[in-house]
Amino acid sequence: FKQKDVWPVRQRRLLAALERERVSAAAVREKEAQRKGSSVAEKLKNAVRTGKDDKKGALSSKLQSLWKQKKSKRTRGEDFHLLHMAVHDHHSSVACALLNDMSPAMFVKHTYIREANRIFLLAMANAMEPVCMIMLDKGFPGDVNAPVFKSEDSRFLCPSYFLMCVGLRLHNLVFHMVQNHRVKVNQDWYGLTPLHVATCKGSISVINILLENGANPRQGIPMQSYRLLRKLKNSQPRDGSKTVYRQITRSPTRGLLHGLATQRPASPAGSLTGMAIGGGSGGGVVMDQIVPIDIASVMLDQEVVNLLLTR
């Protein structure tokens, strides 16, 4: 503005005149609105008073309903959009308030299942357990043992909601699922059970919940499945698409594999840590399968080992 201000005095006079005009017009509009509002309010109050003498009371009830301020109704799409934004921004209280106003039928309708699934997984990734619990009580997901995504390739299955919950160490949500949603605690994903995942994470509370609800500590991962999981964790794209690879490495599914292929610390020869569980040429006995106590021993987690030995 300063560079193009050829006539400074004239420009400032015009701006001052426009500002005075705007302020005066706004003041006039505000007074007019107040005058109209007061007259309408008086009319409504008088009508409500006179309506009390009406035998049926129809006029009184109708005017009283008009007297109350009506809430603006939102569409279902707007509700899901606001819910997604609240979960994305970690506003748990806002998301819970929105969910309480939404009917369970909205989460069952096929049109919004994909959006509800997206919101539920995002809430799990953000550790917003109250939001996930309300969605579960509303009926989504209908089966916590089902895969989180339906794969187009029948040869590949995604992990279940419950397995993802265990992998993200959501203690309260795990307990809520086990108590209310018929969880299959021994269901495996390519040999990987919830107890294996909880052992890798060192989640004592989750391990206790699983063991108390029937998890089998002797159910192991076949070596073939274990090698596949190690390859999946350490794999990189051949086409050099780094962006896609970053998204995969940041996804919750990859977090399930954390700990299975970690670098094992050095240990004395003959101990469990030195076993050739990866199929390499290391010393020790080659095992056919890996049970949770083996993983805890490899990770030198004495507390988890003691807990599993009692079972």
User: Alpha-carbon distance 201 to 213, whole Å?
Assistant: 19
> What pLDDT is attached to residue 152?
79
Poorest-confidence range of 45-49, 67-71, 123-127, 204-208? 67-71
> Which has more confidence, 125 or 256?
125
Tens of pLDDT along 137-183? 999 998 999 999 987 777 788 899 999 999 999 999 999 999 998 99
Tens of pLDDT along 208-264? 999 999 999 999 988 888 887 777 666 555 554 444 344 434 444 445 555 554 434
> Which has more confidence, 96 or 272?
96
What does the pLDDT average to over 288-310?
89
> What pLDDT is attached to residue 256?
54
Q: Model pTM?
A: 0.63
Apex CA 59: angle with CA 53 and CA 63, to 5°?
115
Distances in Å between the Cα of 214 and the Cα atoms of 68, 178, 211, 226, 305 are 55, 10, 5, 23, 18
Does residue 133 register a pLDDT over 80? yes
> Which has more confidence, 292 or 49?
292
Task: Output 232-236 pairs: Cβ under 8 A, ≥24 positions apart.
Answer: 232/257, 233/257, 233/258, 233/260, 233/261, 234/261
Averaged pLDDT of the chain: 76
Reported confidence tier of residue 289, pLDDT bands at 50, 70, 90:
confident
Does residue 56 register a pLDDT over 50? no
> What pLDDT is attached to residue 55?
44
